[in-house]
């Protein structure tokens, strides 16, 4: 029984308004041509002969030989009959009433929708053949549950945080998932779009027709047979979904609707795809494009190509995470003798398990694997029942989006997770500060401060004669100026190299354990912060080094100076006394002046040595304080310029790591 009509509005042109061949034909037709009025004719199942229908067709041929409404070959013009009938219905319809044949003209093309096989005089149609329903309002949009919304929000935040660190190609799949999730959410939540996909000759178009109950998709031996995707919807309101798939109205169909089948598959939108292994490149491109948009997929395989490497490597294995929205149907089992069908089905399950496709067995979620024959109808009822339950749950769109999010997260895992601990430890920070301190010579500065303290103590507490001698030696040494300048230039070059080495080491420590993009971002941040760091450290040496002026003196220094002055005075007194005795000015008495001179000569150095011993502790503390100030200044400069920038990158990575954990539905590991 053919239920496909081809109504072309252009065939109404050239005829007087309100006239049609079909009107003349109906005027002469006997009331019992299609059975008694009010008694519906029995619907004929596809593939079975109906004697009553054959008798009706024979009467039509007899009528056609004597009637006026004929085609060019002498056969009655069925197209003209339908056109005339449509004109009559249009005239009788009250103004403002929507046409039943229109059925949302912007979404469906009436001329190619399988609606009815023939009409009776009163506008009656054969039972079992669907009549187009009036245009229904759009179905309510799809609603995602809380966990899925949270995962989508986390993925959106993850993409936003990563745009400056990852290239567009890496984030392209995640962006596509977000776009498609938003587009699908705005469309019908009462419909489930299921694609029929398969290889050449697998019989998917035949299965498409068997599910629809009417020949919609062309079948034949010519390969490829299906050149463009064809959609069949069991209920209204799916126009937006089909627009999203890019299926034009001329390729949208309605099935042969029986009340029980219509209720069972209500909400199903079935799409027959071209062959995924077609020789035509555009066919494969259409398959890949639509497979990324539908809610579920029925993979149709045959006994010859069920193990095809192209199917498993290009489609089934990459889509293993979508097992919950997949059906795998072994078609053409009528070609397998005996128990061969069970053996092939078991081998198919084995291959799917190797592909990582979870099988929905024993109540577990996964792909539904069935065996059937679209030609004989064996197993089609089981597939229809499984599809009915699948569509009735209305969970396929959300599960498809969740699987897409899982797939995008899996592809992004190498750029967010490495399985190693990452971060900048306190030990690495201290090592960086030590290297900067060495670069600016903090230890040498502390030692110089200590020597300066001791030198100041020696000058303050030393004998006048020794201080005078040192002053004389300092005046005699000529200033050269060349060697110190060359040494200073060499020291600056060495210090710059030490700074660069310290930055490189801390960047390597901080980036260890990070994914490649984030490790590169950490190193780049360290290099940017190191620009101008040697010059800043040089300024710190000048400002944060030794304080200007003399080092501070302890409280015992004045006592030591007074004692040294006394020793000097004793020497002078003893010398003058001895001189007076020599020239006869005073009575000779060598004991007292010699004793005074020896006391001054020996006491002065003793006091100086004692002061030096007493100054070692304060001098060491003074040098340590100078070293500490310089170390803190160098560490602060390095922290502000390098470590803070590195820490900002590490903090950004921790944020995206946490967001990635939310995307995957688990905490960051």
Residues 351 and 445 in one domain: no
Token pair 């998932």 is found at 177
Is residue 217 domain-resident? yes
Residues 584 and 495 in one domain: yes
Is residue 131 domain-resident? no
Instruction: At 622, list the tokens.
Output: 């003074």
The pLDDT confidence band at residue 33, using thresholds 50, 70 and 90, is very low
Beta bridge partners of 371: 330
Final residue before a domain boundary, out of 69, 94, 112:
112
CA–CA distance, 338 with 340 (Å, rounded to integer): 6
Contact 180, 292 (CB under 8 A): yes
Instruction: At 630, list the tokens.
Output: 């310089």
The pLDDT confidence band at residue 662, using thresholds 50, 70 and 90, is very high
Residues 383 and 407 in one domain: no
Give pLDDT tens digits for 519-554: 999 999 999 988 888 888 878 777 765 555 566 666
Residues 598 and 631 in one domain: yes
Is residue 89 domain-resident? yes
The pLDDT confidence band at residue 219, using thresholds 50, 70 and 90, is low
Task: Look at residue 268 and tell me whether its pLDDT is greater than 50.
Answer: yes
Contact 581, 587 (CB under 8 A): yes
Residues 553 and 571 in one domain: yes
Count of structural domains, the chain: 4
Structure confidence at residue 490 (pLDDT): 58
Q: How far is CA 664 from the centre of its chain?
A: 10
Contact 663, 444 (CB under 8 A): no
Residues 69 and 169 in one domain: no
Structure confidence at residue 227 (pLDDT): 77
pLDDT above 90 as % of the chain: 36
Instruction: Please state the rounded mean pLDDT for residues 201-211.
Output: 91
Residues 278 and 194 in one domain: yes
Task: Look at residue 657 and tell me whether its pLDDT is greater than 50.
Answer: yes
Is residue 555 domain-resident? yes
Task: Look at residue 388 and tell me whether its pLDDT is greater than 60.
Answer: yes
Instruction: Please state the rounded mean pLDDT for residues 45-53.
Output: 50
CA dist 214 → 3, 45, 116, 117, 573 (Å)? 6, 9, 10, 11, 139
Is residue 476 domain-resident? yes
pTM check: above 0.85? no
Q: Domain of 281: which CATH number?
A: 3.40.50.300
Strand arrangement, sheet containing 268-272: 252-253, 230-233, 268-272, 192-198, 296-301, 326-330, 368-371
Residues 234 and 98 in one domain: no
Range of the domain at 159: 146-188+395-415
Is residue 464 domain-resident? yes
Residues 352 and 242 in one domain: yes
Give pLDDT tens digits for 92-128: 343 333 333 333 433 334 333 333 333 333 333 323 3
Residues 543 and 410 in one domain: no
Residues 404 and 373 in one domain: no
Is residue 128 domain-resident? no
Residues 407 and 354 in one domain: no
The pLDDT confidence band at residue 285, using thresholds 50, 70 and 90, is very high
Instruction: Please state the rounded mean pLDDT for residues 265-271.
Output: 93
Final residue before a domain boundary, out of 112, 133, 154:
112
Final residue before a domain boundary, out of 415, 447, 465:
415
Q: Which residues contact 642 (CB under 8 A, 6 or more apart)?
A: 432, 503, 506, 526, 529, 530, 533
First-residue to last-residue Cα distance in the chain: 62
- pLDDT top residue among 440 and 343: 343
Is residue 126 domain-resident? no
């Amino acid at each position: 029984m053919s239920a496909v009509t081809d109504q072309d509005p252009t065939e109404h042109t050239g005829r007087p308004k309100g006239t049609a061949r079909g009107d003349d034909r109906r005027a002469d037709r006997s009331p019992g041509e299609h059975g008694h009025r009010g008694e519906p004719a029995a619907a004929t199942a596809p593939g079975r002969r109906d004697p009553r229908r054959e008798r009706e067709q024979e009467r039509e041929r007899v009528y056609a030989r004597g009637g006026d409404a004929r085609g060019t070959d002498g056969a009655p013009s069925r197209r003209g009959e339908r056109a005339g009938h449509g004109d009559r219905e249009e005239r009788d319809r009250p103004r403002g009433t929507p046409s039943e044949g229109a059925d949302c003209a912007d979404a469906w093309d009436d001329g190619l929708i399988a609606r009815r096989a023939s009409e009776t005089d009163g506008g009656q149609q054969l039972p079992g053949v669907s009549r187009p329903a009036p245009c229904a309002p759009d179905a309510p949009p799809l609603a995602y549950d809380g966990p899925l919304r949270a995962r989508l929000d986390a993925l959106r935040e993850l993409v936003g945080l990563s745009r400056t660190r990852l290239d567009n190609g890496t984030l392209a799949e995640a962006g596509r998932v977000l776009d498609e999730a938003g587009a699908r959410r705005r469309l019908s939540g009462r419909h489930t779009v299921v694609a029929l996909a398969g290889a050449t000759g697998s019989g998917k178009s035949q299965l498409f027709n068997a599910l629809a109950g009417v020949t919609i998709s062309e079948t034949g031996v010519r390969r490829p047979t299906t050149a463009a995707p064809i959609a069949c919807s069991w209920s209204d309101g799916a126009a937006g979904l089909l627009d999203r798939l890019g299926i034009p109205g001329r390729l949208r169909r309605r099935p042969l609707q029986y009340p029980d089948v219509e209720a069972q598959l209500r909400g199903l939108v079935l799409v027959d795809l071209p062959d995924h292994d077609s020789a035509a490149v555009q066919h494969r491109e259409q398959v890949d494009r639509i497979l990324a948009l539908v809610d579920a997929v029925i993979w149709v395989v045959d006994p010859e190509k069920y193990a095809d490497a192209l199917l498993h490597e290009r489609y089934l294995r990459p889509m293993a995470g979508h097992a919950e929205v997949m059906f795998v149907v072994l078609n053409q089992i009528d070609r397998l003798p005996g128990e061969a069908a069970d053996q092939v089905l078991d081998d198919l399950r084995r291959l799917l398990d190797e592909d990582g496709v979870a099988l929905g067995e024993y109540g577990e979620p996964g792909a539904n694997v069935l065996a059937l024959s679209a030609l004989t109808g064996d197993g089609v009822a089981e597939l229809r029942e499984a599809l009915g339950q699948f569509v009735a749950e209305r969970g396929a769109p959300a599960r498809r989006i969740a699987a897409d999010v899982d797939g995008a997260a899996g592809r992004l895992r190498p750029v967010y997770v490495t399985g190693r601990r990452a971060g900048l430890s306190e030990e690495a920070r201290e090592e960086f500060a030590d290297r900067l301190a060495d670069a600016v010579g903090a230890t040498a500065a502390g030692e110089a401060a200590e020597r300066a303290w001791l030198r100041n103590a020696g000058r303050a507490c030393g004998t006048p004669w020794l201080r005078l001698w040192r002053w004389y030696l300092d005046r005699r040494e000529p200033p050269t100026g060349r060697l110190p300048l060359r040494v200073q230039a060499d020291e600056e070059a060495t210090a710059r190299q030490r700074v660069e080495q310290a930055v490189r080491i801390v960047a390597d420590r901080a980036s260890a354990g990070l994914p490649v993009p984030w490790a590169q971002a950490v190193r780049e941040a360290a290099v940017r912060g190191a620009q101008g760091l040697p010059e800043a450290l040089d300024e710190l040496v000048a400002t944060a080094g030794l304080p200007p002026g003399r080092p501070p003196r302890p409280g015992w220094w004045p006592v030591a100076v007074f004692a040294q002055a006394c020793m000097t005075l004793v020497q002078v007194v003893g010398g003058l006394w001895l001189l007076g005795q020599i020239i006869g000015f005073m009575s000779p008495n060598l004991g007292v002046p010699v004793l005074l001179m020896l006391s001054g000569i020996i006491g002065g150095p003793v006091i100086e040595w004692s002061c030096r011993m007493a100054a070692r502790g304060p001098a060491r503390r003074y040098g340590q304080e100078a070293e500490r100030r310089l170390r803190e200044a160098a560490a602060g400069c390095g922290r502000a310029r390098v470590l803070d920038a590195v820490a900002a990158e590490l903090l950004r990575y921790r944020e995206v790591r946490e967001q990635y954990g939310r995307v995957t539905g688990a905490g960051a590991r």
